A and B are shown apart, each in its own frame.
Chain A
Amino acid sequence: MKLRHLMLASAAVVALTGTAQAENVLKWGANRDIGSLDPYSFGDSFTINVLNHVYEGLVRYDRDLKIEPALAESWEILDDQITWRFKLRQGVTFHNGNPFTAEDVVASLTRVSHETSPLKGNLPAYVSAAVVDDHTVDITLNGTYPLLLNDLTNIHIFDAEWLTENDALLPTDVGAGTEGYATYNANGTGPFIVESRQPDARTVFVANPDWWDEAQHNLDRIELTPVNSAATRVAALLSGEIDFTNDAPVQDLPRLEAAPEVEVLEGVDLRTVMIGFPFRETLTTGEPNPFRDKAVREALYQAIDLDLIQQKVMRGKSRTAGATVAPQIPGYVEELDVLPVHDPDAAKAILAEAGVPKGLEFEFNCLSDGLVNEEQFCQAIASMWSRIGLAPKLDVAPRAVQSPKRTNAKTDIYTLGWATLPLLDSYSPLLQIFHSKDGNAGVFNWGGWSYPELDALVDEAGQELDVEARLALQTQALQIVKDEVIMIPLHQQPMAWAVTQDVAEMPLFPDAKPRLWFARMGGES
């Protein structure tokens, strides 16, 4: 009898350990699929973010979004000020077992900056890279440039040998109609290995047991499934078919919060939502453009009831912004973050004084698939402007339709959200948005403004290697943006993720990038 009990007991123990050792599978329901397994194939940040679980850069952001060493252990700027020497981490292997060496870095940088690569803009200052020895590499730039490390966080390192073997040294080129091996296969150094992929259905990652870094996650597998329809995503979360989504629809948050098995993770995104003005001589209607007058821009700013938008349109979940960058972004200072007094009557008076005709018509260009509640806040703002005697014509359509109008000056006032990614530095909007259109600069300067004083500050910052001095210059430039009301900052938009109770830890990052190498599931004893 005793023996039988013992056997039963041991059977139970076996069963228990069996459960405790069950795999931790995180089922991730994203709002869309990654484009391909090749991070260099399409300028899509979601694809790059997901593939960061497989591929890594020389440096990376830590939990506090500070840069820390990853595949490079240390770096220094050589005496010529334009060459950076990186000491690489030793003993790192790719998923196929190949060792990680300087060759790999050179091949990857060459590949991403090749002329057919859609991502070559991610390394704006890059000129060339050279092997010094097996674990040292020199990167030469086109001048002194302080933000190379920020750029490198997003440049994933491939295995040179693997690329050569599979004839994938060059990026895929849609124009030439070529496909690439790396589109279907992946071989990185990262914490997860791609096990299988069926586009639009499922991509499976398994934990890399030989990862060079100590794993903080306890996941064995990640199953990434795109679920485009928001209603289906919510249903899948409630029925436990997915454990995690990085896009919990705003309109369904109350319902998800009410469900006992789901936890909603809410935060405020780094993305600052702004409204841009045209600076051309005439409006799209052919009328003279009153927005060239700073006083008129200020009047439009004053006419917007920011509190009302925060409370009603954004349901109290956004952070009203006075500055054009979020507080976490280097270059931000509190003095920039001053809000104007909402005063429609004063705004009306200013418009009258500036000689703006009553009922002035202009286009107001918004996206239907862009920012959080964009259509609603655009409508609200349009009616606020109507109240001070203007006649904005609201034009809401998908990004694909609106982008050409915006870049070709076929519209007047427009919205823009800027998260400063992947740099996470105020240099990014200053160069891309606020600088005059000139070569690499001012690509998003859709309004066509030009402030030589601001340009000089930004150009100087772009060559200043001392962090403090650089940030001081950038703050000064941001002050000009603020004083001249080049764009109206509205708010940092809310973001929401949701997990089921099986997930013990899922750090929410303000750059909205899921980093599942920090995630933990509750299944483990």
Chain B
Amino acid sequence: MLAFLLKRTANAVFVMLAVALLAFVIFRFFGDPVEMMVNEQATLQDRIDLRERLGLNDGFLTQYTRFVTNAVQGDFGISYRNQQDVMVLIQERFPATLELVLVATLISLVVGIPAGVVTAIYRDSKLANMLQLGSIVGVSLPSFVVGIMLILAFSVTLGWLPAFGRGETVDIGWWSTGLLTPSGRAALLLPAISLSTFQVTLVMRLVRAEMLETLRADYIKFARARGVPARRVHWRHALRNCLMPVITLTGMQIGNLIAFALVTETVFQWPGMGMLFIQAVTFVDLPVMAAYLLIVSFIFVALNTLVDITYAWVDPRLRDDSARGKG
């Protein structure tokens, strides 16, 4: 087990280094931050000096080593545009993104699971067909289109919900939350729905497939034969056995949602990490771009590693496989 743990962690570290390298190579060809930092009146010499001070003239390896050494210590430098510590900037934005992602996940479970069960039980009913059709729409519509349509319907036409922003927030320590104020909750609704559309259909389809499988199992037949009410059979015995893969998927998808939130955040001007990244790209704010990429991939890698380790812990066969693969 210890060997497996070490191996898995080493893998993760290697992936992170590769991501850092990739991010770095991309940025080398991305553009020149100096052109964005100075204004029209700066002289050529000013520009050269600034480039030198930022260390952009150093060799590739020097820059990469410096970047990794600092990043390991949690120091991503100062944002060119905001002149603030990048870690602080990201720390300020992280609660907004995470709240959005968690609420979107919640919506996807609350809507997706019942819809999946219904479509599995009443397979050819009108309701099931409509839900199936709706899920195709949900999968195919890009989330920015969903977002803009929601804004048009609920903000412009009906005037019920705000079109952008996060509303009033309350600070609890360094965590800022919009869940405690009415305007914060109202502002959260549209972005969360728009972010969850894809996820809802994913959960629904997964639950449906699992349910269809489970409903054919012997113990369900037995329960039915024993006269257990259908409601209880479906929602309790069958559904429970379908939930394991749903939970795994949801956990893994959180990383995805954090990355996808970028689009939703842009549409709704949600002050999260994705918004920060988009702005950084516009202004060639290299420290922020690098930090964002590293942190998001860190979340991905950490979630994956965690899931792998948990699986290995639960199921010893996986451990053996990996040991054999090594030998």
Partner of B279, one of A178, A200, A202, A227: A200
Q: Is B134 an interface residue (CB 8 A)?
A: no
Partner of B92, one of A199, A226, A239: A199
Q: Is the CB–CB distance between A443 and B39 below 8 Å?
A: no
Q: Provide the residues of chain B in CB contact with A146, threshold 8 Å.
A: none
Q: Is the CB–CB distance between A202 and B165 below 8 Å?
A: yes
Q: Provide the residues of chain A in CB contact with B278, threshold 8 Å.
A: 228
Q: Is B291 an interface residue (CB 8 A)?
A: no
Q: Is the CB–CB distance between A175 and B41 below 8 Å?
A: no
Cβ contacts A164-178/B at 8 Å (1 or 0 each): 000000001111111
Q: Is A376 an interface residue (CB 8 A)?
A: no
Cβ contacts B154-169/A at 8 Å (1 or 0 each): 0110010011111001
Chain A residues 14 to 36 lying within 8 A of chain B, measured CB to CB, are 32-33, 35-36
Q: Is the CB–CB distance between A227 and B269 below 8 Å?
A: yes
For A178, the closest partner residue in chain B by CB is B78
Q: Is the CB–CB distance between B85 and A241 below 8 Å?
A: no
Chain B residues 6 to 42 lying within 8 A of chain A, measured CB to CB, are 30-32, 35-42
Cβ contacts A196-228/B at 8 Å (1 or 0 each): 001111100000000000000000000001111
Q: Is the CB–CB distance between A121 and B269 below 8 Å?
A: no
A124 in contact with B41 given A239-B159, A400-B284 (CB within 8 Å): yes
| A interface bracket (residues with beta carbon within 8 Å of B) | 35 or more
Q: Is A389 an interface residue (CB 8 A)?
A: no
Cβ contacts A399-434/B at 8 Å (1 or 0 each): 111011001000000000000010000000000100
Q: Is A97 an interface residue (CB 8 A)?
A: no
Q: Is the CB–CB distance between A121 and B32 below 8 Å?
A: no
Partner of A401, one of B30, B50, B92: B30
For B88, the closest partner residue in chain A by CB is A179
Q: Is the CB–CB distance between A421 and B165 below 8 Å?
A: no
Cβ contacts A426-468/B at 8 Å (1 or 0 each): 0000001000010110011000000000000000000000000
Q: Is the CB–CB distance between B41 and A42 below 8 Å?
A: no
Partner of A403, one of B31, B78, B93, B163: B31
Measured CA separation A313–B71 after assembly (Å) = 47
Q: Is the CB–CB distance between B39 and A401 below 8 Å?
A: no
Could you tell me the dominant secondary structure of chain A's interface residues?
Answer: loop
Scoring B41, B42, B275 by chain A CB atoms within 10 A of each residue's CB, the highest score goes to B41
Q: Is the CB–CB distance between A232 and B163 below 8 Å?
A: yes
Partner of A43, one of B32, B38, B82, B92: B38
A199 in contact with B89 given A35-B81, A115-B49, A121-B41 (CB within 8 Å): yes
Q: Provide the residues of chain A in CB contact with B43, threshold 8 Å.
A: 121, 124, 439-440, 443
Q: Is A153 an interface residue (CB 8 A)?
A: no
Q: Is B125 an interface residue (CB 8 A)?
A: no
For A225, the closest partner residue in chain B by CB is B165
Q: Is the CB–CB distance between A443 and B82 below 8 Å?
A: no
Q: Is the CB–CB distance between A228 and B32 below 8 Å?
A: no
Q: Is A252 an interface residue (CB 8 A)?
A: no
Chain B residues 108 to 159 lying within 8 A of chain A, measured CB to CB, are 148, 151-152, 155-156, 159
Q: Is the CB–CB distance between B41 and A400 below 8 Å?
A: no
Q: Is B105 an interface residue (CB 8 A)?
A: no
24 pairs, CB–CB < 8 Å, chain A vs chain B: A33-B279, A43-B37, A116-B53, A121-B39, A121-B41, A122-B39, A172-B78, A174-B77, A180-B83, A198-B169, A199-B271, A200-B279, A227-B269, A232-B269, A236-B163, A236-B164, A239-B156, A239-B163, A241-B164, A400-B30, A403-B32, A403-B36, A439-B44, A443-B40
Report, nearest first, the 9 A-B pairs whose CB atoms are least far apart: A43-B39, A175-B53, A400-B31, A121-B41, A121-B42, A403-B35, A201-B271, A200-B271, A43-B38
Listed in ascending order, the chain A residues whose CB lies under 8 Å from chain B are 32-33, 35-36, 38, 41-45, 115-116, 118-122, 124, 172-180, 183-184, 198-202, 225-229, 231-232, 235-236, 238-241, 369, 398-401, 403-404, 407, 421, 432, 437, 439-440, 443-444
Task: List 6 other contacts, CB 8 Å, given A118-B38, A229-B269.
Answer: A36-B83, A38-B83, A43-B38, A198-B169, A236-B155, A398-B31
